[in-house]
Structure 1
Amino acid sequence: MLTNLKHKIITLSIAIACINSSCKSGADYSQKRKSVILKEKNFKHYVDYFNTMEDENLKFAIPNDSAWAWMEKNIPLFECPQQNFEEIYYFRWWSVRKHIKNTPQGFAITEFLVDRSYADKYNMISCALGHHINEFRWVHDPKYIEQDVKLWYRGNEGKPMNKLYKFSSWTADALYNRYLVNKDEKFLLDLYPDMVTDYAVWEKDRQRKDGLFWQHDVKDGMEESLSGGRKVQNARPTINSYMYGNAVAISKMAEMKGDKEAEAKFKAKADVLQKLVETKLWNQKSEFFETFTEKDTLAQVREAIGFIPWYFNLPEQNKGFEKAWEQIKDEKGFSAPFGLTTAERRSPRFRTHGTGTCEWDGAIWPFASSQTLTALANVLNNYNQNYVGKPDYFKQMELYVQSQYYRGRPYLGEYLAETTGYWLMGDRERSRYYNHSTFNDLVITGLVGLRPRADEKIEVNPLIPQERWDWFCLDNVLYHGNIITILWDKTGEKYHKGKGFRIFKNGKEIAVSERLEKLVSE
């Protein structure tokens, strides 16, 4: 009897320790999930179809025959009347799952499925880490992205991986934005010292005397651009916006820790960068953020990276910066039949670098499209302006969806021709399932409009024009430890919950409107 009692005490102690620790298992999270409206079985057919599209020559932690079981436990469910939106939503979860890799040190998330010579241990490449964090923050089980991040920063005998700094990154910003979804303060603050060290490394290696940061195009993951080159040391809107976002995030982490000195220090760094970007990278003539070259002149060409400052809400309001967004509607600017180009189409050097060496001279890259769409959602949510609206966001999301097909089947690769939609390296094995962009995060935070925030209010601002869809539902979203359901039913006949736009928290209705408009629950 005493032995049995000891056994029960030990078992209880282990259970309590597991609950209190950061090593939560998938089972812990699967017990919390409970969709309110949608049924998982109604979407399994997508995965059954995706599994028939290939011979699956590469298998890692979760092979195709386990894909649906993983998705069923881990992803928010989405339904809408436009079938290609729905199909690509599930395709992107199906494809990102392919990149989860078992290692002796935990899970890693790869960018390419095939091994790359410039990758780090376990075929890891840091360039897409911010994208991975933003996409995986919606996966119910946290272990995949948490182990990946810790592997990057502590997997080399407690130190960062050797090639962590090969590419610029917005990791601190992404980790803070993940915290806004799961409120896991313990995990975030555990990585706080790593983020402070990370920032110092970039200051030492890449900061100019004037305070701006420089980067080679290739180490931004954006080779063969119109404004620079693989070996040119330009102050680009990319790395300077990333470092601004990281400084803001680290300042917020310091505030959470109660470190007033560090909070003020990193806020000051962000303020300085904001002013430098606004004054040195803004071209008043072109009304656009441009690359500031190593010769201390503006590049005099608009590129999609000029939209990245809004990814981090960097530009101040009411100073005219938002006028740059008119260029996404201009066919001489970035508007093309299959999405947003990476350089303005009016440039005489547009698409002049050939094909096959990772050109950023105009072709469409999902990498850039997802950054621009995240930035556009921020503009529509956080700025008072009249240059762009919901129809512009929906149009570009629709083109982004349409572009993710190749020979009639869902496909995700590196880059595509802007007028034909043809994937430029689509038949190369390395390009299949290129994991260097987001999509489902855009559906959740932009299209449907769940805007993560630090307090307990639930804010939803859909960027779907009222007249486009008569119904849609996003269900089984794990947010702040609760299951959130968001639905629109114009007639009330689709979901039988009444007419209008509704938000549910753990199955209880918490906000409602007759129109498809912004809702904030109190």
Structure 2
Amino acid sequence: PRTTERRSACYNFSNSAQCNWNGGSWPYETSKVGTALINLLQTYGPQSAADVTTFDRLLTTYAVAHTRSHADGISPPHVDEDLHPDDGYWITRRKLHGIPPWPGTGGLGSARHPLSARGTHYFHSTFNDLVLSGLVGLRAHAKYFEVYPLSLATSFCATRLRLRAVDVSLVWDSDGSAYTHGPGLHVWLGGRHVGSARGVSVLEVAPGLLPPRLHVSYDGERLVAIGRGEAGVVPIGPRFEEE
């Protein structure tokens, strides 16, 4: 997402200063947009203007932005201050080093300057949180935790996620071919497999199976698949009641 609309008079990249809010894409602001989208979809369900495919596109684009490969031809992880929303390069990095199209703007003075490798550790996005709370879909509640993946992936694995003093591990495998646990969304608590549920078909969203939506008690004694809320999906179990 841009910090300024393209139609705005403030949308320009002519300023040689490193930090500008004139249209560039800032990781932390993108994180806030992603978090808001997760909360919207997991709380209120699909909207006419946004659904799981919207989040999938945002997260995929954001993941690509966390490298220098798409713009600079090299692949190490890289997070800087602001990204050019059209050309895909890190604006502040090029200005910092005086790299075209910003020659003569470098302010390092030396390759050994403390800021020379800033993008290798400039961690001001919440990308990991978007993956765990959005793609994996882990959400904590008072009596249970919820797994509501906003993902079009055919498989994923997230292990040893510490939640309420318990290690939670999750494996989604739409057809059972990616891992050795069989098809569906599997849940482990403290290393103990507590249950699984098969994927659901939501043709309005994607041609394949989507991960189910689960409610799981913290002791692992109850696991309920409640449906995803998209059109055509019928809940197959009761919701947990908060007290």
2:50 to 381, 385, 388: 388
Structure 2 residue matching 1:378: 3-state secondary structure: helix
Residues 449, 460 of structure 1: 8 Å contact kept: yes
Percent of aligned pairs with the same amino acid: 31
> In the TM superposition, what whole-angstrom CA distance separates every residue of 1:135-179 from its partner, at most 9, and x where no partner exists?
xxxxxxxxxxxxxxxxxxxxxxxxxxxxxxxxxxxxxxxxxxxxx
Aligned length: 179
Residues 1:425 and 2:92 are matched in the alignment:
yes
2:133 to 435, 442, 445: 445
Map 1:326-345 → 2, pairs under 5 A: 340-345=1-6
Structure 1 residue matching 2:93: 3-state secondary structure: coil
Residues 474, 486 of structure 1: 8 Å contact kept: yes
Residues 1:518 and 2:227 are matched in the alignment:
no
CA deviation after TM superposition for structure 1 residue 361, in Å:
1.9
Map 1:25-424 → 2, pairs under 5 A: 340-351=1-12, 354-384=15-45, 385-406=47-68, 407=72, 408=74, 409-424=76-91
Tell me the equivalent position of 2:180: 496
Inter-partner Cα distance in structure 1 for 2:191 and 2:165: 13
Inter-partner Cα distance in structure 1 for 2:41 and 2:63: 20
Inter-partner Cα distance in structure 1 for 2:128 and 2:164: 18
1:486 to 163, 170, 187: 170
> In the TM superposition, what whole-angstrom CA distance separates every residue of 1:296-343 from its partner, at most 9, and x where no partner exists?
xxxxxxxxxxxxxxxxxxxxxxxxxxxxxxxxxxxxxxxxxxxx1112
Residues 353, 359 of structure 1: 8 Å contact kept: no
Residues 341, 418 of structure 1: 8 Å contact kept: yes
Please, which runs of 5 or more residues in structure 1 have no aligned partner? 1-339
Residues 511, 519 of structure 1: 8 Å contact kept: no
Tell me the equivalent position of 2:155: 471
Inter-partner Cα distance in structure 1 for 2:35 and 2:48: 18
TM-score normalised by length of structure 2: 0.68
Please list every run of at least 4 consecutive aligned residues from structure 1 whose deviation after the TM superposition is greater than 3 angstroms. none
**One-letter code aligned to 1:513:** A
> In the TM superposition, what whole-angstrom CA distance separates every residue of 1:382-437 from its partner, at most 9, and x where no partner exists?
12433210111010110111111223121111111111111112153264222322
Structure 2 residue matching 1:444: 3-state secondary structure: helix
Inter-partner Cα distance in structure 1 for 2:59 and 2:180: 28
Inter-partner Cα distance in structure 1 for 2:128 and 2:17: 28
Inter-partner Cα distance in structure 1 for 2:169 and 2:13: 47
Residues 157, 172 of structure 2: 8 Å contact kept: yes
Please, which runs of 5 or more residues in structure 2 have no aligned partner? 97-114, 200-210, 217-221, 223-243
Q: Which has the higher helix share?
A: 1
Specify whether residues 398 and 355 from structure 1 end up closer, same or farther in structure 2 by C-alpha distance, changes over 3 A only: farther
**One-letter code aligned to 2:42:** N
**One-letter code aligned to 2:93:** G
TM-score normalised by length of structure 1: 0.33
Residues 4, 10 of structure 2: 8 Å contact kept: no
Q: Which has the higher strand share?
A: 2
Residues 52, 151 of structure 2: 8 Å contact kept: yes
Inter-partner Cα distance in structure 1 for 2:63 and 2:140: 23
Inter-partner Cα distance in structure 2 for 1:353 and 1:382: 41
